[in-house]
Every structure is written in C-alpha cells, then in structure tokens.
C-alpha cells in the first residue's frame, strides 16, 4: 500500500523486452535506497512495481503483459520522468490516502489554467470510472494523491499548489498528456458490497439494511 505522497522523482534509464514482458531500470538520485530490499514494492507513476535488482541509486522491475496492457509503461521511452514512492510502513503518516498501486486506467489532461501561483488542471477520465470520483474526494494521478475540487461532466478539476508541482513530474504535464488514474479503492469496495449477489438467499449489504442497522 502507498499514500500518494511522492518521495522522489526518477528517470526511466532502460527498457528491455523479455518475450511479452518488459524489464525496466529506474534511477533516482533523490530516493533513499538504503532500506530497499529485493521483493519490495515501489510505486512508479502510480504503478506498483516489485524490485528485482537494485543498486545505490537504481532498481529494476519486471512488468507483465497484463500490466503493460493497463498502463502506459509500454509507451514510455528512455528518459521518461517517474514519480516514486516506497511502500508505506505501519509508522508512516498517511498524508494522502490509501493507494493500492493498481492502476484503473489512463486519463487525459484536457486543460491547464494558471490561477495565482496555483494551477487548475482539468482531467478527462474514462467514462466507466466516473461513478467512483466524488467532489472533495481523493484520486491518484501518476501516483500523486490529489483532491477533486469540481466535477464537470466526464472531467474533474484539480488545484495544484507550487510545492506539489515542483516535487513531482507535474511540471512536464501539458494539454493532451496521458496519465495513470487510480480511483479511491474504498469506493470500489463499497460498490462491490452493495451489488446484489447471485444467491437469492443472501441479500448482501444494501442501503435498506444499512438504514435498518442505524448506519444511515
């Protein structure tokens, strides 16, 4: 699990095709690798990657065909800037929100407006993910935990402060940029719980049941 608070940025140094899979090497001079072990997870532009080899300022990870199908790593080129976050510990401050590192899809930056020192960034999300995105709720974009400030049809608006822009890859975003999106996982679990089951003898959790039990 991750928090969406980026620890460092890095650079995609190498991509090696391995059959239908891909091995990547990501380097960062600002990420602390001292406590990173083989098998650890590092969120890379929001994608949970397992460390298969490491050095003092780099690590390797293997991406399956499934990961390549669902993410942008198959389109990345050498030199791509990457947001990095190591997996959280029980003692880690949860400064963002709970992030799984399992990307739900890709979205497009549709508009960027300067407002004082901040940016107003408008994101066009896949239609099937819209029901999981709520005003003032959380969303993860390229691994960054952000607050949705406004919903406009299929788009939503984010307000980006200078510190966040400087500490992440946001400074490389342009209108038309394609980014990873992960919706709030709590919303996904709630939908699953509220969905009727195939077993007619088991009603499951419903709004009516929650009301009867005093939760609503």
111 and 179 share a domain?
yes
Q: What span, in angstroms and rounded, lies between the C-alpha atoms of 170 and 78?
A: 18
Note whether residue 211 is domain-resident: no
69 and 113, same structural domain?
A: no
Last residue of a domain, which of 86, 120, 135? 86
pLDDT at 7 over 50: yes
Residue 69 lies in a domain: yes
pLDDT at 198: 60
Looking at residue 169, which CATH number applies to its domain? 2.40.30.20
Please give the pLDDT value at position 89: 83
Mean pLDDT within 190-209 = 65
In this structure, is residue 201 part of a structural domain? no
Does the residue 203 lie in any domain? Answer: no
What share of the chain has pLDDT > 70, as a percent?
91
How far does the chain reach from its first CA to its final CA, in angstroms? 29
Q: Is residue 72 situated within a structural domain?
A: yes
Residue holding tokens 């239908």?
Answer: 20
Instruction: Output the average pLDDT for the chain.
Output: 91
Question: How many distinct structural domains can be found in the chain?
Answer: 2
pLDDT band at 200 (very low <50, low <70, confident <90, very high): very low
The stretch 172-183 carries a mean pLDDT of: 97
Residues 60 and 121 in one domain: no
Same domain, 141 and 170: yes
- Domain membership of residue 164 (yes or no) is yes
Assigned token pair, 43? 């969120």
Residues 136 and 64: their CA atoms lie apart, in Å, by 34
Instruction: Say whether both 112 and 174 belong to one domain.
Output: yes
Q: Give the pLDDT score at 93.
A: 77
- The whole-number pLDDT of residue 215 equals 59
Domain that holds residue 79: 8-86
> Within this chain, do residues 37 and 80 fall inside the same structural domain, yes or no?
yes
Mean pLDDT for the stretch of residues 171-177: 96
Tell whether 61 and 112 lie within a shared domain.
Answer: no
8 A C-beta contact, residue 97 and residue 145: yes
Same domain, 123 and 153: yes
* Range of lowest pLDDT (26-40, 50-64, 85-99, 158-172): 85-99
Clarify whether residues 79 and 133 are in a common domain.
no
CA 37 to each of CA 6, 85, 141, 208: distance values in angstroms, whole numbers, following the listed order: 19, 14, 26, 48
User: pLDDT per residue over 17-75, tens digit each?
Assistant: 988 899 999 999 999 999 999 999 999 999 999 999 999 999 999 999 999 999 999 99
Given 51, 86, 121, the domain boundary residue is: 86
Predicted model pTM: 0.87
185, 109: one domain: yes
Confidence category of residue 213, pLDDT binned at 50, 70, 90:
low
In a domain, 27, yes or no: yes
Q: What is the structure's pLDDT at 66?
A: 93
Q: What is the pLDDT of residue 209?
A: 65
23 and 82 both lie in a single domain: yes
47 part of a folded domain: yes
Question: 143-154, pLDDT tens digit by residue?
Answer: 999 999 999 988
């Amino acid at each position: 699990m991750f928090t969406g608070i980026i620890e460092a940025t890095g650079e995609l140094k190498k991509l090696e095709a391995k059959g239908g899979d891909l091995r990547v090497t990501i380097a960062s001079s600002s990420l602390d690798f001292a406590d990173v072990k083989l098998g650890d997870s590092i969120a890379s532009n929001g994608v949970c990657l397992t460390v298969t080899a490491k050095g003092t300022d780099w690590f390797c990870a293997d991406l399956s065909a499934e990961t390549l199908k669902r993410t942008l790593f198959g389109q990345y080129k050498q030199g791509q800037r990457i947001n990095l976050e190591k997996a959280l510990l029980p003692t880690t401050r949860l400064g963002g929100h709970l992030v799984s590192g399992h990307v739900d899809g890709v979205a497009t930056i549709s508009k960027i407006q300067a407002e004082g020192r901040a940016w107003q960034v408008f994101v066009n999300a896949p239609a099937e993910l819209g029901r999981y995105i709520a005003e003032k709720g959380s969303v993860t974009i390229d691994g960054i935990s952000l607050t949705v400030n406004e919903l406009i049809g299929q788009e939503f608006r984010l307000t980006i402060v200078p510190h966040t822009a400087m500490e992440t890859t946001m400074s490389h975003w342009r209108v038309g940029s394609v980014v990873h999106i992960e919706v709030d996982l709590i919303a996904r679990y709630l939908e699953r719980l509220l969905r009727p089951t195939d077993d007619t003898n088991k009603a499951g959790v419903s709004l009516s049941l929650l009301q009867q039990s005093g939760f609503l």
